[in-house]
Amino acid sequence: MQVAEAYAELIRRTKETALLGSCAGVLGWDERVNLPPAGGEFRGEQMALIARMTHEMSTDPFIGEALSTVEASKPDGDMAVNVRELRRGYDRAVKLPKALVEELARVTIRAQQAWQEARQADDFAGFQPWLEKVVTLKREEAQAVGYKEHPYNALLDEYEPGTTAADVKQIFAGLTKELVPLIEAIKNSPRRPKTEILHREYPVDLQKIFGTAAAAAIGFDFGAGRLDTTTHPFCSGIGPGDCRITTRYNPKFFNESFFGILHEAGHGIYEQGLDPDHFGTPPGAFCSLGIHESQSRLWENQVGRGPAFWQHFLPRARQVFLTALRDVSFDDFYFAINDVKPSFIRVESDEATYNLHIILRFELELDLLAGTLKPGDLPAAWNEKFEKMFHLKVPDNRQGCLQDIHWSMGGLGYFPTYTLGNLYAAQLMEQARKDLGDLDADFTRGEFSRLKGWLNVNVHKPGRRYRAGELCERITGQPLSHAPLIRYLRDKYAPLYGC
Amino acid sequence: MQVAEAYAELIRRTKETALLGSCAGVLGWDERVNLPPAGGEFRGEQMALIARMTHEMSTDPFIGEALSTVEASKPDGDMAVNVRELRRGYDRAVKLPKALVEELARVTIRAQQAWQEARQADDFAGFQPWLEKVVTLKREEAQAVGYKEHPYNALLDEYEPGTTAADVKQIFAGLTKELVPLIEAIKNSPRRPKTEILHREYPVDLQKIFGTAAAAAIGFDFGAGRLDTTTHPFCSGIGPGDCRITTRYNPKFFNESFFGILHEAGHGIYEQGLDPDHFGTPPGAFCSLGIHESQSRLWENQVGRGPAFWQHFLPRARQVFLTALRDVSFDDFYFAINDVKPSFIRVESDEATYNLHIILRFELELDLLAGTLKPGDLPAAWNEKFEKMFHLKVPDNRQGCLQDIHWSMGGLGYFPTYTLGNLYAAQLMEQARKDLGDLDADFTRGEFSRLKGWLNVNVHKPGRRYRAGELCERITGQPLSHAPLIRYLRDKYAPLYGC
């Protein structure tokens, strides 16, 4: 096989597999947005067929042979990127025994049901056998994939290529050291925002209009995307020209849909910024889940919870939510959306304490995968760790170790990407402010295109050409650090809480 | 190859191909209901990939070999049905040269654009070269597939398996002979309904609620289906438990959405009545387009334009459309929805004259395919024939031969299925009334389940086990005839028009 020929066919097949996979993207979106109740079983068969076909296509021995041929030619540029990333995916896929993949699919479907019931009934014992099965299977997966140092690395690598548990440990340690005293100082401040403001009447129709306008303003392209309503919000980048985000509305809580929409729109702007010419191949793919999350957090928090953003949007919000916001001052509103308060539920927590929720889960996951923590001992371990970190006693497992769906889905190794997202967001935003000058002046005018353009060029267009850490260093000149996030949080909270 | 083994693998592959094809069903529905404008090109690539894959799967030489093996064993029952129908599809697919299929796909996409522009500008000359290409390609298709007597048969057979142009000619001749004098008599009647009633204010929100309630009442299962809004209404049966219908709303015209919804719900009830255990194979597939259309016309017209239906629904409509219907009597409303008036546009025409529109198109199609009518002579031929049949002078080609999309899509041979649907609907309904006794008493009470159950058993569950004509004869004891439709129309119009 000639190198050029092997490479062309490799890329053709990779794109075709991605194209077929993108059909499952439409089916998955439709399942969550439109599917009639009776259609669930059939949709499962459709999705399973496409999953099987794409798996067969991407593990075809031809892929391995073509990769070897191209690798031997020592390619550079995008060819090298494609070979590196496709090799990574191919090796991982062929190393996993089919029986294990199928068992994982079967077990995690039933484990999710068991988790749902267990959470509702606050019955950890009902979930324990399923958690045991999932942990056992994920440890087998790590063995099959292979790893250095810790089995966690084999799982983390799927979400955050090239990042290891040791990397995460180190950066989380630095973060914890500075974050815990900051949260403590805020806790000890006598100042408290009037959060009642956010729990007034916010009619759903108006939230929809206001949230859509904000998503469009920051740069989500509704000519190439949609916003719909689902129980669990998500972003689905189907392919070039088609990216869909969802949210849920709470008529008695402003934050739920509004910051949710900014968050998903941030993911969406990333997807819309990927290079369509490279669709289906690494140069046209998102870099890592951490970088993906950095884009959602950047728009949601760095921009969307900032004072300049609300200089522009609060007067507009007052015109839309007449009764709720008529008498609310800028200072009161801004303080309310930046309330910091240790609490039990991760998804309801604030920008600062959120990261402690992640660190707790990361540490428990490490022990679960190492086998040093038995799934049956999880509630005790969770509660002890939680009390140490948050100075709060967990009242029940619903508000403790049963709150998240991730482990029942087999998503061990996923949680750290959320805080990596916060860290990358802060470091990228610091750099954008350096490069672009007075961004707050833009935001005050409702102008976000310079920031979006900067992200397009620096973060989105490179795709998966660089690993997350490498991308960060290329853009900011520094490896990922906890310092920018801490600086950002301190700068924000010092004037609010006088700490 | 053992027969049992060959048959099992044949069915497995057939079902798998249908399952993949059903994914394109979701993509196609989504394209028309949800797709962001910029996503069109990518959606085209997704659909083309699935079309190519399903084509490859269904023309795999294994299918032909397995069919031969099973055929040699002289199977009976469902095995015989499957072999007969799969052979039909396989032979047709392998006979068509790939180049012709691709050329047809290319040409019809561009011909549709040309048609849209030509219709808007009333510019037949702009469409003529495309119509010429389409007709030439469809004649080549007929040659490739093979036929007896008339090339039309090769095309009609795709929509109405087993029915020939001669069959259609004969039944249309009988129909014309009785329909033309009936329409003439109605035209000469001095009585005219107050159709202005239907053009009052019908708020879209209320139409949606009322139409949805009616669709549910006649038996469309919203637990296994949806109703959405599109420019061109359609029904998409995606698979077991998932059938989707659409409509469009005109705030100044009651009929457009209401009878449109009944029509699509009729298609939907058929799809929902197919046997899910046989999904993807002939016993679980619809019989023919004519039978499919009979189910939509039966609910739209035979039931939905009948007096008993409105005994139940008019009082409810008055409560919903307060201002429009408050002062409208039953007789005035019922007469208005049964207005008969020769007009230019097929899709806006009434139950009686509709069939003349179809007969005209069928006759022109025969000549186009035989080569005796040149596409360039179409406008003249259309207008001459129209004047003879309708006693109306066609003012322009927009209201003449440019009104329908079908020919630009390559759908020659499709039109007759509409009137076959009307004929089957009348003959089936006559039989249902015989079998079930006083159905009007049911309808007056808003009760449609006995009729729906009868259709489920007699029409839906058999799937494609029998050809349309055979199914009709099994159910009604008679071959398809124009007589029941004529009886139905006479019985309805005699008291209204005094003719």
- Three-state SS for B46? helix
Interface predicted TM-score (ipTM) of this complex, two decimals: 0.94
Say how far residue B403 (Cα) sits from the centre of its chain. 17
CB A420 within 8 A of CB A413: no
Q: Which residues of B345-379 are buried (b: 16+ CB within 10 A; e: fewer)?
A: ebeebbbbbbbbbbbbbbbbbbebbeeebebeebb
| Torsion-angle region of B434 (φ positive above 0: left; ψ -120 to 50: alpha; else: beta) | alpha
pLDDT at A499 exceeding the cut of 90:
no
Q: How many CB atoms lie within 10 A of CB B303?
A: 22
Q: Which residues of B touch A222 (CB under 8 A)?
A: 36
| Percent of chain A residues topping a pLDDT of 90 | 98
- Residue B498: Cβ-neighbour burial (10 angstroms; 0-12, 13-18, 19+): exposed
Of A40, A46, A225, the CB nearest to B22: A46
Any A CB within 8 A of B377 CB? no
- Please report how the helices A61-72 and A3-33 are oriented relative to each other, as an axis angle in degrees rounded to 10: 130
pLDDT at A97 exceeding the cut of 80:
yes
Rounded Cα–Cα distance for residues A459 and A294 (Å): 10
Is B264 an annotated catalytic residue?
Answer: yes
Read off φ and ψ for residue A4, nearest 5 degrees: -60, -40
Q: Which residues of B touch A230 (CB under 8 A)?
A: none
Any B CB within 8 A of A237 CB? no
CB B459 within 8 A of CB B270: yes
A23·B22 Cβ contact <8 A: no
The residue of chain A nearest to residue B37, with distances taken between CA atoms, is: A223
Any A CB within 8 A of B240 CB? yes
**Beta partners for A237?**
A243
Q: Which residues of A touch B53 (CB under 8 A)?
A: 20
Choosing from A85, A264, A351, A365, the catalytic residue is A264
B36·A239 Cβ contact <8 A: no
Of A23, A37, A39, the CB nearest to B50: A23
B49·A241 Cβ contact <8 A: no
**Residue A390 pLDDT level (bands cut at 50, 70, 90):** very high
Which of the 8 DSSP states describes residue A276?
G
Q: Which residues of B touch A23 (CB under 8 A)?
A: 23-24, 27, 46, 49-50
B241·A38 Cβ contact <8 A: yes
Of B36, B53, B223, the CB nearest to A226: B36
Note the pLDDT of residue A1.
76
The interface residues of chain A toward chain B in range 244-303, judged by CB-CB distance below 8 A, are 279
B38·A242 Cβ contact <8 A: yes
A241·B46 Cβ contact <8 A: no
pLDDT at A37 exceeding the cut of 90:
yes
Any A CB within 8 A of B40 CB? yes
Note the pLDDT of residue B148.
95
Handedness of CA B142, B147, B151, B154 (dihedral sign): negative
CB A286 within 8 A of CB A270: yes
Rounded Cα–Cα distance for residues B144 and B154 (Å): 9
Structure tokens that stand for A394 in this block: 């967990």
Rounded Cα–Cα distance for residues A278 and A19 (Å): 12
The residue of chain A nearest to residue B22, with distances taken between CA atoms, is: A46
Of B23, B24, B36, the CB nearest to A241: B36
The residue of chain B nearest to residue A23, with distances taken between CA atoms, is: B46
**Beta partners for B237?**
B243
What's the whole-number mean pLDDT along residues A224-234?
Answer: 96
Structure tokens that stand for B13 in this block: 């592959």
Listed in order, strand segments (DSSP E) in A40-119 are none
Mutate to test the interface with B, among A32, A46, A212, A235 (most CBs of B within 10 A): A46
CB A394 within 8 A of CB A386: yes
Structure tokens that stand for B372 in this block: 């005796």
Any A CB within 8 A of B315 CB? no
CB A129 within 8 A of CB A118: no
**Beta partners for B245?**
B227, B235
Any B CB within 8 A of A51 CB? no
CB A243 within 8 A of CB A268: yes
| Torsion-angle region of A473 (φ positive above 0: left; ψ -120 to 50: alpha; else: beta) | alpha
- Please report how the helices A61-72 and A77-95 are oriented relative to each other, as an axis angle in degrees rounded to 10: 140
B38·A226 Cβ contact <8 A: no
A36·B239 Cβ contact <8 A: no
Any A CB within 8 A of B239 CB? yes
Choosing from B85, B264, B271, B430, the catalytic residue is B264
Any A CB within 8 A of B216 CB? no
Note the pLDDT of residue A496.
97
pTM of the model: 0.95
B41·A241 Cβ contact <8 A: yes
A20·B226 Cβ contact <8 A: no
- Three-state SS for A410? coil
B49·A23 Cβ contact <8 A: yes
Name residues of chain B where pLDDT drops below 70: none
CB A175 within 8 A of CB A485: yes
Rounded Cα–Cα distance for residues B76 and B441 (Å): 42
Dump pLDDT digits (tens) for B404-415: 999 999 999 999
Any A CB within 8 A of B34 CB? yes
The residue of chain A nearest to residue B24, with distances taken between CA atoms, is: A23
Task: Please give the span between the terminal C-alpha atoms of chain B, in angstroms, as a whole number.
Answer: 67
Q: How many beta-carbon pairs under 8 angstroms link A with B?
A: 107
What's the whole-number mean pLDDT along residues A79-88?
Answer: 98
A38·B223 Cβ contact <8 A: yes
